[in-house]
Amino acid sequence: MGGKPAAPLHLVGNGAVDVKRTPAHSFNSPCPSPYPQGSSPLPPGIAPSPARTPRSRVRWPFPPPSPAKPIMSSILKRRGSARPKEGPIPEEGAGEGETQLDKSFGYARNFPAKFELGKEVGRGHFGHTCWARGKKGELKGQTVAVKIISKAKMTTAIAIEDVRREVKILKALSVHKNLVKFHDACEDASNVYIIMELCEGGELLDRILSRGGRYREEDAKAIVVQILNVVAFCHLQGVVHRDLKPENFLFTTRDEDAQMKVIDFGLSDFIRTDQRLNDIVGSAYYVAPEVLHRSYNLEADVWSIGVITYILLCGSRPFWARTESGIFRSVLRADPNFDDLPWPAVSPEAKDFVKRLLNKDYRKRMTAAQALTHPWLRDENHAVPLDILVYKLVKSYVRVSPFKRAALKALSKALTEDELVYLRAQFRLLEPKNGRVSLENFKMALMRNATDAMKESRVVDILNMVRHLIYLLKSQWTSYIVEQG
- The dihedral built from the CA positions of residue 167, 172, 176 and 177, taken in this order, carries a sign that is positive
Looking at residue 398, its amino acid is V
CA R_g for the chain: 24
The more confidently predicted of residues 285 and 383 is: 285
Tell me which residue of 336, 342, 276, 268 sits closest to 301, measured CA to CA: 268
Model pLDDT, residue 100: 75
Model pLDDT, residue 436: 78
Residue 291 CB-density burial (10 A; 0-12 exposed, 13-18 middle, 19+ buried): buried
- The dihedral built from the CA positions of residue 343, 231, 247 and 366, taken in this order, carries a sign that is positive
Phi, psi of 17 (to 5 degrees): -110, 125
Residue 95 has pLDDT above 50, yes or no: no
Do the domain assignments include residue 147?
no
Residue 9 has pLDDT above 60, yes or no: no
Model pLDDT, residue 470: 57
Residue 318 has pLDDT above 50, yes or no: yes
Do the domain assignments include residue 402?
yes
Model pLDDT, residue 287: 97
Residue 83 has pLDDT above 60, yes or no: no
Model pLDDT, residue 57: 44
Report whether 304 contacts 310 (CB < 8 A): no
Question: 77-86, 152-161, 272-281, 309-318: which has the highest mean pLDDT?
Answer: 309-318
Do the domain assignments include residue 169?
no
Q: Work out the number of other CB atoms within 10 angstroms of the CB of residue 218.
A: 8
Helix H or strand E segment including 250: strand 249-251
Helix H or strand E segment including 460: none
In the residue annotation, 219 being an active-site residue is answered as no
Phi, psi of 146 (to 5 degrees): -125, 115
Among the residue ranges 114-123, 263-272, 440-449, the one predicted with the least confidence is 440-449
Domain residue limits at 445: 388-484
CA distance 379 to 350: 13
The more confidently predicted of residues 479 and 85 is: 479
Q: Work out the number of other CB atoms within 10 angstroms of the CB of residue 109.
A: 13
CA distance 86 to 244: 34
Question: pLDDT above 90 covers what percent of the chain?
Answer: 49
Do the domain assignments include residue 396?
yes
Residue 394 binned pLDDT confidence (cut-offs 50, 70, 90):
confident
Report whether 357 contacts 305 (CB < 8 A): yes
Model pLDDT, residue 450: 75
Model pLDDT, residue 21: 35
Residue 217 binned pLDDT confidence (cut-offs 50, 70, 90):
very high
The more confidently predicted of residues 301 and 24 is: 301
DSSP state of 296: B
The more confidently predicted of residues 1 and 422 is: 422
Model pLDDT, residue 452: 80
Model pLDDT, residue 20: 37
Among the residue ranges 13-22, 88-97, 183-192, the one predicted with the least confidence is 13-22
Phi, psi of 36 (to 5 degrees): -60, 155
Model pLDDT, residue 150: 94
Tell me which residue of 271, 279, 266, 328 sits closest to 297, measured CA to CA: 271
Model pLDDT, residue 229: 96
Mean pLDDT of the chain, nearest integer: 78
Do the domain assignments include residue 146?
no
Give residues with Cβ within 8 angstroms of 150, minimum separation 6.
127, 190, 191
Q: For the chain, how many structural domains are there in total?
A: 1
- Name the H helices within 248-293: 289-292
Among the residue ranges 19-23, 107-111, 357-361, the one predicted with the least confidence is 19-23
Residue 212 binned pLDDT confidence (cut-offs 50, 70, 90):
confident
Do the domain assignments include residue 423?
yes
Model pLDDT, residue 379: 78
Do the domain assignments include residue 224?
no
Model pLDDT, residue 442: 76
Model pLDDT, residue 381: 74
pTM of the model: 0.75
Q: Is 147 annotated as a binding residue?
A: yes
Residue 60 has pLDDT above 70, yes or no: no
Of these residues, 184, 243, 264, 387, which one is catalytic?
243
Distances (CA, A) of 108 to 140, 145, 152, 196: 17, 17, 19, 15
Among the residue ranges 49-63, 115-129, 143-157, 353-367, the one predicted with the least confidence is 49-63
CA distance 358 to 336: 8
Do the domain assignments include residue 420?
yes
Q: b/e map of 142-153 (b: 16 or more CB within 10 Å)? A: ebbbbbbbebbb
Q: Work out the number of other CB atoms within 10 angstroms of the CB of residue 367.
A: 21
* Digit-coded pLDDT (tens) for 42-51: 455 544 444 4
